[in-house]
Amino acid sequence: MDFASSERAGAQPKEITSAKIVVAGGFGVGKTTLVGAVSEIEPLTTEAVMTSASSGVDDASKVPGKETTTVAMDFGRITMADDLILYLFGTPGQTRFWFMWDELIRGAVGAAVLVDTRRISDAFAPLDYFENRHLPYLVALNCFDGAPRYEPEEVREALAIAPHVPLIMCDARHRDSVKAVLVGVVEHAMATLVEEQGRGFPATVG
């Protein structure tokens, strides 16, 4: 870890912008592994109390009748410049709480939905979630050892992934592979933004 200072006394404080990319997917698909492959810190975990109330996270305590749950999310950090930090947030695998994630994806650059080709149907819930949100996302097939090798197009068909959603193969353990996934997310976000601008609907993200 580095604790290098960019804001020491004397230096003119600079506005720092931080961005996030969300890494989603079912239980055990390799989300934490993916985050750890590129993060400059060991992935950290933080807990949020979520409620099904529309206000989202963390105000569970004042609505006793509402369904609440504590979810842990992992995240990593990439300090890109002294004024730019990218965070990667891994969602919890338990998909029955996906409807509570709106607050956490708000403002994200985009998302990668990881799919384990040995358990393709686990991807239905996360994919349903992103299909109904305004956030650019791609699908990354995490290639586990001994997993059946599908052609990407077979997977696209099996999961009914829309043609505009990029689909790529990856190995969540390898930095270069994860880099390619993240580059793919950002490029897709750019393409989406350009396209929306062209249509005259620059919607708010998240």
Partner 1 sequence: MGQPRQPHDPRGALVRPYAVTRGRTEPQRDIPIEAVLVASQANVQEARFAGHDKYRIALLCEPRAQSLAEIAAYHRLPLGVARVLVADMVADGLLALHSAAPRQGFAERMDLLERVLSGLRKL
Ligand X SMILES: Nc1nc2c(ncn2[C@@H]2O[C@H](COP(=O)(O)OP(=O)(O)OP(=O)(O)O)[C@@H](O)[C@H]2O)c(=O)[nH]1
Contact residues toward ligand X (CB under 6 A) are: 25, 27-33, 90, 93, 142, 144-145, 171-173
CB of 40 to partner 1, least distance (A): 10
How do beta strands 44-51 and 68-81 pair?
antiparallel
CB of 116 to ligand X, least distance (A): 8
Longest dimension (CA), the chain: 58
- Residues 166-195, interacting with partner 1 (CB under 8 A): 175, 179, 182-183, 186-187, 189-190, 193-194
- In the set 27, 107, 149, 164, which binds partner 1 (CB under 8 A)? 107
Is there binding between residue 32 and Mg ion (CB under 5 A)?
A: yes
Decide whether 160 or 191 has the Cβ nearer to partner 1.
191
Angle (CA) 200-24-92 rounded to 5° is 135
Rounded Cα distance between 17 and 20, Å, is 10
Rounded Cα distance between 43 and 74, Å, is 6
- Residues 18-77, interacting with partner 1 (CB under 8 A): 18-20, 38, 44-49, 57-59, 61-62, 70, 73, 75, 77
Decide whether 106 or 119 has the Cβ nearer to partner 1.
106
Which is nearest to 179 in space by CA: 35, 19, 10, 5? 35
CB of 112 to ligand X, least distance (A): 12
Decide whether 77 or 123 has the Cβ nearer to partner 1.
77
CA separation, residue 144 to residues 84, 115, 164 (Å): 33, 10, 25
Decide whether 28 or 206 has the Cβ nearer to ligand X.
28
Decide whether 79 or 120 has the Cβ nearer to partner 1.
79
> Based on the number of CB atoms within 10 Å of its own CB, is 19 exposed (0-12), middle (13-18) or buried (19 or more)?
middle
